């Protein structure tokens, strides 16, 4: 029988995981797995280390249960391995962006576990920044700094509303940063208050920041906010809330790219990089999209057709990969 390891945060969501553990394990076993559980501890990288151990021990499925931080940590535990198990998620945090993108129930942990029984999966793109992996966003610039200033207790109670409140407080302090951003097919050099790379269309509880993002096309949605003016930023936020119309604004650069090299023109300054809501190091930094890197259980019946590649798209992608591989072999032969 296939083996599954549930890695759960016992204190996430007012201990909702601990209180429903038996039902969750039963739901996983009904999907055809022999299930066991591991409760994370306060020690650094607890979930990450257990995910690595489970993958190397031959587990076929790793289930990450908790908030987006727990999911990120489990992904970091398996993304660097050659043989990677499938993943499933059971959201028990506040924002739960990844669950929203995969259409996994966010208010019922048992129903979330039962998604595995549908046997529907998506091979998800994963981001890599230096030696760290991310599943939803990477960002830099003064406009992103509010994520570091929201107290953890406010995040737990108010979710993304806490970010909005802190963002309103911080807006007058936003300053332009002179950036150099090199992406697929071009580059941007100049002032910006933020660059942002998105892997899904759900960011901070909103589904209109990267409105046409696909989960499995090998491309980031790159957004560069080219202004630090308070009134212009407020106007752009209004456009985000009004159906994602910010992507067509002259103060925004919005493109698709498989990589990004981000650096500062002023080397005396510092730009912190945000990876999935947490500090992930400083620029300069390179970001790569790992195409269809981890297979996740998802409720694909409810995912919009525009958010994942269809059969024809997948055939075209396979053809492109074959051409790239052929060209690589030709280059190696010519060098010899």
Contacts of 124 (CB under 8 A, 6+ apart): 135, 199, 215, 216, 292, 293, 294, 295, 296
DSSP state, 56?
A: H
Of the candidates 4, 63, 58, which has an alpha carbon nearest to the alpha carbon of residue 33? Answer: 4
Cα(263)–Cα(249) distance, integer angstroms: 24
Cα(149)–Cα(167) distance, integer angstroms: 9
Cα(216)–Cα(253) distance, integer angstroms: 22
Contact present, 299 and 120 (Cβ < 8 Å): yes
CB atoms within 10 A of CB 53: 13
278, 288, 295, 317: which is the annotated catalytic residue?
278
Cα(232)–Cα(170) distance, integer angstroms: 15
- Is 278 assigned a catalytic role? yes
Cα(277)–Cα(254) distance, integer angstroms: 21
Q: Which of the residues are catalytic?
A: 278
């Amino acid at each position: 029988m296939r083996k599954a390891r549930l890695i759960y945060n016992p204190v996430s969501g007012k201990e909702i995981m601990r209180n429903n553990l038996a039902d969750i394990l039963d739901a996983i076993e009904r999907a055809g797995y022999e299930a066991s559980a591991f409760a994370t501890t306060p020690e650094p990288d607890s979930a990450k280390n257990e995910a690595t151990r489970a993958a190397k021990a031959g587990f076929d499925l790793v289930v990450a249960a908790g908030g987006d931080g727990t999911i990120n940590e489990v992904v970091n535990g398996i993304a660097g391995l050659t043989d990677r198990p499938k993943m499933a998620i059971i959201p028990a945090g506040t924002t739960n962006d990844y669950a929203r993108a995969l259409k996994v129930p966010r208010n019922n942990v048992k129903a979330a576990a039962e998604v595995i029984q549908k046997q529907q999966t998506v091979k998800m793109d994963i981001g890599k920044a230096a030696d760290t992996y991310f599943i939803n966003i990477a960002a830099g610039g003064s406009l992103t700094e509010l994520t570091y200033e929201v107290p953890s207790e406010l995040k737990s109670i108010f979710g993304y509303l806490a970010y909005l409140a802190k963002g309103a407080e911080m807006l007058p302090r936003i300053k332009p940063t002179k950036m150099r951003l090199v992406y697929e097919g071009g580059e941007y050099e100049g002032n910006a208050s933020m660059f942002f790379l998105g892997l899904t269309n759900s960011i901070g509880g909103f589904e209109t920041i990267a409105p046409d993002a696909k989960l499995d096309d090998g491309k980031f949605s790159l957004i560069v906010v080219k202004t630090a003016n308070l009134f212009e930023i407020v106007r752009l936020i209004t456009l985000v809330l009004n159906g994602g119309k910010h992507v067509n604004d002259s103060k925004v650069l919005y493109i698709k790219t498989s990589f990004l090299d981000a650096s500062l023109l002023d080397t005396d300054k510092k730009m912190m990089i945000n990876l999935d809501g947490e500090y992930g190091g400083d620029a300069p930094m390179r970001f790569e999209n790992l195409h269809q890197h981890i297979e996740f259980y998802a409720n694909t019946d409810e995912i919009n057709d525009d958010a994942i590649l269809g059969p024809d798209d997948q055939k075209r992608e396979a053809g492109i990969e074959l051409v790239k591989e052929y060209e690589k072999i030709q280059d190696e032969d010519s060098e010899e």
